[in-house]
Amino acid sequence: MLKAKKICNNCRKIKGLSCNCVPKESHQGFKKTNYNLYNSRQWRTFSHQLRKDEPICRICNKEGRTTPCQMVDHIKPINKGGSIWDKSNLQPLCNKCHAKKSGKDK
């Protein structure tokens, strides 16, 4: 009996023969449930209020720059036991500072 050929989900070619796709690495410890949190109305309202209360990126502000914040970041990531709604675990950041911090966390 012949085995069914496996098809790549990315390029739709036969795996191993004509498919040269590099497998995507998943983020370690990242849970899909975080998508549900960040897309919820409750989180959007909560983070909007935090950004309104503190409109300058916290890291930039410490370094003497006045960059507007663009997101709310968990200081201790949720996946590592950080509290979701505790304001002491949250900080407003610009995209650049958030990317630097996220790179260091990984």
**Total residues found in the chain within this entry:** 106
Cα–Cα dist 71/106, whole Å: 19
Q: What residue ranges do the domains of the chain occupy?
A: 41-105
**Banded model confidence at residue 55, pLDDT cuts 50, 70, 90:** very high
Q: Has residue 26 got a pLDDT over 70? A: no
**Banded model confidence at residue 14, pLDDT cuts 50, 70, 90:** confident
Per DSSP, helices labelled H in the chain are 33-38, 41-53, 58-62, 95-105
Note the pLDDT of residue 13. 74
Residue 29 structure tokens: 């410890």
Q: Which position has the higher pLDDT, 6 or 45?
A: 45
Mean pLDDT along residues 71-98: 93
